[in-house]
Amino acid sequence: MLSFSVNAQYVNLKGGASIKFQTTLTGDDKERAITAASMNAIERYFSEKGEAQDQVFESSREKIEKALERLVQNTAVLSEQVMQDTKRYQVTVRVELNEARLKNLVKQGTAATMSGEGEKSNIVYLFTARQANSVKQFDDRVVRINQVSVQREVNANSKVSGTEGEKISGNQVSTNTGKSVNARMDGNATVKRESGGSVTSKSDEIGYQVLPMGGYKPAVTSIFTQSGFVALDSDFVLTEADIKSINADYANGNDISPTTLRNVFKTLKASQEKIKFLVIATIDVGLGSVDGSSGMRRIGVEVSGRVLGVEGNIPREIASVPPVQQASLGVDDGAARTAALKKGAEVASREIIAQLNNNGIK
């Protein structure tokens, strides 16, 4: 799907549709196909943002179609084909979508936005970004075993033969003896060599640098607030010890450890703000590369998250965001990273809000 910003409110989207007509293609048939193609463009717009957003589209499909004229500013037909033999008409369009108006439309009627001011839930969000900054590689440990076995076989044969005679002549007796010995020895030796061993590999140890997220928090707060929640920055709710433990866990390449999470839970329970949900999002930043199309620097991020309910004695998982990948371009790695982090934080926030709305949570 082609999607890029026109300004702060509008995005260009591309969609297509194929319809069946009767005997001859009419103007009404074309309008019906263009409407279907426009809806296809909007559906793909939601699908690219994650599974929960896709569910938002399905639940809002009817009201989106009714408001299509207000949502779509311009429509351009990119290609069309009439297949008279099969009575089908196929069209591809590019639409200019009012993104802000669409977001406001789908938010109408959700549990959170229908809540009164006193009924809105307090959410603490904890967004952490990290990037690998050191890699320790280990050589393989090799153990070699050589085994030699020798088998010998010896056969020995011996044979002794002799003769004895006596001769009498006159008054004399003479004797003679003779002996011959034949011996034979055969030997065979077999040598067997066996070799083997084992190789033990150890995975790399990766160290991470925790990146500052202060510049992206206003956007996150705005998304939660506009969706009907009271968003609280974790820096103002958690203790300094909690923040240090969280950063240490992430710097070692792990998620938040059970010990750290238990301490965070205790802090939230003790807060006077009556915290209802804890939102945890992790943004893993990849290495920079050259974008093949533009020649600019490109950096990707992988975003994952979860929502925990903290009202009870034990935190319970309310929603989760499976890993979602995003990428941004910039004139250098710093600019690309800044854009990617902002995009990742916004994607995680909207996906979480969509899941909460789908579950009727306010």
Query: pLDDT truncated to tens, each residue of the chain (362 aa)?
Result: 334 344 447 888 999 999 999 888 999 999 999 999 999 999 888 877 766 677 777 878 888 888 888 888 888 999 999 998 899 999 999 999 888 888 778 776 554 444 444 457 888 988 888 988 755 555 666 667 666 565 666 555 655 565 556 666 655 655 665 555 555 655 566 666 666 666 655 555 567 888 888 888 888 888 888 888 888 888 889 999 999 999 999 888 778 899 999 999 999 998 888 889 999 989 999 888 899 888 999 999 998 888 998 888 888 888 888 888 888 999 999 899 989 998 888 888 888 888 887 777 76
Q: What pLDDT does residue 167 have?
A: 60
Q: What pLDDT does residue 114 have?
A: 41
Q: What pLDDT does residue 117 have?
A: 47
Q: What is the C-alpha radius of gyration for the chain, rounded to an integer number of angstroms?
A: 41
User: Which amino acid appears at position 253 of this protein?
Assistant: G
**pTM attached to this predicted model:** 0.56
- The domain ranges of the chain are 1-108, 116-136+207-362, 141-198
How far apart CA 42 and CA 18 sit, in angstroms, is 16
DSSP single-letter state for residue 214: G
How far apart CA 235 and CA 73 sit, in angstroms, is 41
Q: What pLDDT does residue 242 have?
A: 93
Select from 344, 342, 333 the least CA-distant residue to 298: 333
Say how far residue 201 (Cα) sits from the centre of its chain: 24
Q: What pLDDT does residue 34 have?
A: 92
- CATH for 116-136+207-362? 3.40.50
